[in-house]
Amino acid sequence: MIKYIIIFCLPLLLFSQDKFKLLRYDMVDDQIVSRGIRDEKVLDAFREVKRHEFVFQSYIDFAYQDRPLPIGYGQTISQPYIVAYMTQIIEPDSDDRILEIGTGSGYQAAILSKIVKEVYSIEIISELSASAESKLNNADFSNVQLKTADGYYGWEEYAPFDAIVVTAAAEYIPPPLIEQLKDGGKMIIPVGSPYLIQQLMLIEKINGEIKTKSLMPVRFVPFTRKN
């Protein structure tokens, strides 16, 4: 009986996996490449990482849609394009060591793990951290280290970092994070509500001096009415 069930279910399972793969490839083309993300390393990572494994079961059909999804505790898994933009903007390299503040679903860490050498990710909400750990706890993401802690202090043990990705919007940038950023390094931080991220803040440390640049991943528009 079990044999027949397996014979019957296996094609369905394979079909669903294939379906997600196709959706993932479409997501990369329709949402990411079309909006100007050209870094092949980034695009390959998005084709590889199964986003649907990082969302609630009830939202699995929406996993590849062009929008953020709730993951509980007032947090979201960001819109795919925002994750891609934040990844591209820090210009990740295969030798890089990256710090992520706010593991959330674990999706951003998973994407980064496909591109860089080491990813260190901190999540303050223990339930989210445990959930992300279970998703990232396999051979595919062996270069990701997770910690449940207050991201304010960074991860001094592994500092300095080539880049820091802050995934949750913050009203201030913790001074320890600036300290733990390598000279020449980049920090990216979103500004705004999870459903309305229109700005990202890029912070660069150049010869010890800190400069910021607000970036708008959305299409540039002059906010005057067309006459």
Partner 1 sequence: MSKKIHVSLSLVSAALISFQIVLMQILSITQWHHFAFMIISLALLGFGSAGTFISLYRDWLIERKETIIPASIIISGIFTVISIPLSQLNIFRFDTLLIFTDNSHLIKLMFTYFLLLLPFFTGAVSIGLIFVSYSGEISRLYFSNMLGSGLGGIFAILLLTIFKPQSAPVVLSVLYLFAGIVYQKSSNKKIITILEFSLLIIIITGWLVEFDFKISQYKDLSKTLNLPDAEIIAEKNSPYGFIQVAESDALRYAPGLSLNFRGNVPVHKAVFNNGDWVGAVISCDFSDTNSVFDFTTEALVYKLIKPENVLVLNAGTGENVIHASKYNPDNITAVEPNRALNYLMKYRLADDNDSVYYSDKIDLVELSPRTFLQKQLGNYDIIKLPMLGTFGGSAGLQAINEQYLLTSDSFELMFDRLTDRGFISITSWLDYPFRNPLRLLSTIIKGLQMKGIGEPQSHIISVKSWSTISFLVKKNRIRYTDIAAVREFCAKMSFDPVILPGIRPEERIRYNRIQDNGLFNFIDSLLSDNRQELINNYAFRINAPSDDQPFFSQFLKWNNLSEIGEYFGSNSVPFFELGYLIVILTFTQILIISLLLIILPLFRLGLTGEKKLQTFIYFTGLGVGYMFVEIVLIQKFILYFGNPVYAASAVISFMLICSGIGSYFSRSVPVNRIGLRIVLAAIILLILIYALMLDLLLKSTIHFEEIWKIILSFLIIGIPAFLMGFPFPLGIQKLDRSYREQIPWAWGINSCFSVISTALATLLSVELGFTAVLLLSMLAYGMTAGVTLFYREIKL
CA distance 12 to 67: 27
Q: Which residue has the tokens 């002059």?
A: 222
**Cβ of residue 210: shortest distance to partner 1, in angstroms?**
4
Distance CA 129, CA 106 (A): 8
Name the token pair of 215. 């970036």
Contact call for residue 221 and partner 1 (CB under 8 A): yes
DSSP 57: G
Q: Confirm or reject binding of residue 124 to partner 1 (CB under 8 A).
A: yes
CB of 142 to partner 1, least distance (A): 28
**Integer distance in angstroms from the first to the last C-alpha of the chain?**
71
Size of the site for partner 1 (CB under 8 A): 51
Tokens 């010869």, residue located: 207
Regarding 173 and contact with partner 1 (CB under 8 A), the answer is yes
Least distance to partner 1 from the beta carbon of 82, Å? 12
Site string (174-213) toward partner 1, x via CB under 8 A? xx--xx----------xxxxxxxxxx-x-x-----xxxxx
Q: How far apart are CA 133 and CA 65, in angstroms?
A: 24
| CB 136 within 8 Å of CB 112 | no
Closer of 15 and 153 to partner 1 (Cβ): 153
Whole-angstrom distance, CA of residue 132 vs CA of residue 135: 5
**Catalytic residue of the set 16, 78, 129, 142:** 78
Alpha-carbon distance of 218 to 220, in angstroms, equals 6
CB atoms near residue 16 (< 10 Å): 12
- Region near partner 1 per CB under 8 A, out of 6-14, 38-46, 62-70, 112-120: 62-70
- 10/210 with CB nearer partner 1: 210
126 is catalytic: no
**CB nearer to partner 1: pick between 92 and 217:** 217
Report d(CA 165, CA 9) in Å as an integer: 41
The least CB distance from residue 173 to partner 1, in Å, is 6
CA-CA-CA-CA dihedral for 46, 48, 54, 58, to nearest 10: 100
Of 3, 74, 95, 157, the one binding partner 1 by CB under 8 A: 74
Interacting span for partner 1 (CB under 8 A) from 37-45, 47-55, 156-164, 219-227? 219-227
Q: What's the closest the beta carbon of residue 154 comes to partner 1, in angstroms?
A: 13
Query: Annotated catalytic sites, by residue?
Result: 78
**Binding-site ranges for partner 1 (CB under 8 A):** 66-70, 72-74, 124-126, 150, 152, 169, 171-175, 178-179, 190-199, 201, 203, 209-216, 218-227
